[in-house]
């Protein structure tokens, strides 16, 4: 049986969330969708929760070990029977009309990739505090302001830091260009995959309305911020060596700037961790002596604290802005 859209859902220890994700897919207004759940060796009851659904539109694949989100997505894509591929993290969910809306735009624009805005919602919250396009988040230096359906290129994607969006992809485009997620990546794999698609010439369309609910919860991969930064830093360096990138001056310039920004954030995080380790492992006077001989570690640690406070204040910042009035809460 063929479907219009195959929705790939990697999951690990998500028994409290996976049912919501599955329900949001099965309730889509576009009925020709399948959902492929790839369990990445969960040690909780995630598999049992998924197995409760008796539906011919749902496949459950179980990895033989914890292989990471990239491997799981590749496995799901290989098993997909849809013309389009959609991504859904197991702790997130779709608005009921999401797939129908994205498909309409994809067909009207003859697109290869279509993404929407995302509602940002805290763990266990009943209402989103903002949307990705309205929130001061990420490593971008251009605000993603879209008045209508808009095509973006690789430079736009980098400078607006759109790696967190969850597009639908034309399956034929992925096959033709042999695109897959890097199995070695556990962080930043989406950013790399989308950028590779753009470098291959994908027509990437942005829909400014939000139809995806992006939930942040303790234990999610992105909470390991330092490791995420380290992997992104190395990955950007690899992109800078790619022949197609080397031939595009604007792309080199944007990637280089992102490389410097991520590098600065990484230095700040490393300094803060080093300062904590000094106080944990040494006597007070020895720790003070080390700080006096290396005052930069204190400055960078203060910057780390300021950065964290700024990020935590983002929901309040958005709530006080005019953009907060545009957030619809009727899909929760």
Check residue 90 and report its DSSP letter. T
Q: Is the confidence at residue 332, as pLDDT, over 50?
A: no
In sequence order, the 6+-apart residues with CB closer than 8 A to the CB of 175 are none
220 confidence band (pLDDT: 50, 70, 90): very low
Residue 287 neighbours by CB distance under 10 Å = 16
- Statement: residue 221 has pLDDT above 90: no
Q: Distance between CA 54 and CA 214 in Å, rounded?
A: 26
Under 8 Å between Cβ of 199 and 205: no
Cβ atoms of residues 72 and 80 within 8 Å:
no
What pLDDT is attached to residue 331? 45
For 300-326, how does the pLDDT look when each residue is reduced to its tens digit (9 = 90+)? 556 556 656 565 555 555 555 544 444
Confidence of residue 291 (pLDDT cuts 50, 70, 90): low
Percent of the chain at pLDDT exceeding 90:
63
Please report the pLDDT score of residue 308 as a whole number. Answer: 60
Predicted local distance difference test score (pLDDT) of residue 297: 59
Which secondary-structure segment (H or E) carries 208?
strand 204-216
User: What does pTM read for this prediction?
Assistant: 0.85
Residue 212 backbone phi and psi in degrees, to 5 = -115, 135
Query: What is the pLDDT at residue 260?
Result: 94
Instruction: Kindly report, residue by residue over 18-42, the tens digit of the pLDDT.
Output: 999 999 999 999 999 999 999 999 9
What 271-276 contacts at long range (C-beta under 8 Å, 24+ apart), as own/partner pairs, is: 271/296, 271/297, 271/300, 271/301, 271/304, 272/300, 272/301, 272/304, 272/305, 273/226, 275/301
Provide, rounded to the nearest whole percent, the portion of the chain with pLDDT above 70.
80
Q: Give the pLDDT confidence score for residue 311 in this predicted structure.
A: 55
Higher pLDDT, 255 or 124: 255
133 pLDDT higher than 80: yes
pLDDT at 21: 97
**DSSP letter, residue 181:** -
- Work out the average pLDDT over 98-119: 97
Give the rounded distance of the alpha carbon of 151 from its chain centre.
19
């Amino acid at each position: 049986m063929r479907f219009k859209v195959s929705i790939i859902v990697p999951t690990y220890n998500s028994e409290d969330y996976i049912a919501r994700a599955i329900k949001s897919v099965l309730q889509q207004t576009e009925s020709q969708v399948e959902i492929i759940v790839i369990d990445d060796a969960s040690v909780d009851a995630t598999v049992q929760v998924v197995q409760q659904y008796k539906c011919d539109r749902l496949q459950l694949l179980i990895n033989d070990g914890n292989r990471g989100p990239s491997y799981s997505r590749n496995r799901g894509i290989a098993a997909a029977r849809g013309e389009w591929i959609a991504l859904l993290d197991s702790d997130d969910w779709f608005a009921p009309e999401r797939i129908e809306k994205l498909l309409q735009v994809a067909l009207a624009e003859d697109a290869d990739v279509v993404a929407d805005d995302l509602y940002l919602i805290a763990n266990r919250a009943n209402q989103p505090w903002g949307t990705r396009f309205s929130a001061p988040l990420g490593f971008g230096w251009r605000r993603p302001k879209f008045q209508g359906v808009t095509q973006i290129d690789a430079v736009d994607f980098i400078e607006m830091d759109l790696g967190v969006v969850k597009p639908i992809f034309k399956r034929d485009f992925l096959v033709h260009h042999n695109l897959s997620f890097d199995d070695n990546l556990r962080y930043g794999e989406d950013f790399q995959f989308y950028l590779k698609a753009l470098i291959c010439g994908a027509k990437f369309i942005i829909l400014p309305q939000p139809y995806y609910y992006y939930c942040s919860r303790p234990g999610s991969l992105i909470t390991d911020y330092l490791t995420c930064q380290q992997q992104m830093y190395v990955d950007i360096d690899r992109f800078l060596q790619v022949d197609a990138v080397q031939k595009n001056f604007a792309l080199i310039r944007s990637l280089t700037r992102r490389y410097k920004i991520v590098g600065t954030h990484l230095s700040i995080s490393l300094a803060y961790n080093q300062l904590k380790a000094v106080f944990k492992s040494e006597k007070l006077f020895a720790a003070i002596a080390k700080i006096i001989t290396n005052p930069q570690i204190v400055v960078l640690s203060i910057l780390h604290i300021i950065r964290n406070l700024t990020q935590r204040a983002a929901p309040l910042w958005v709530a006080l802005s005019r953009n907060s009035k545009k957030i619809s809460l009727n899909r929760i």
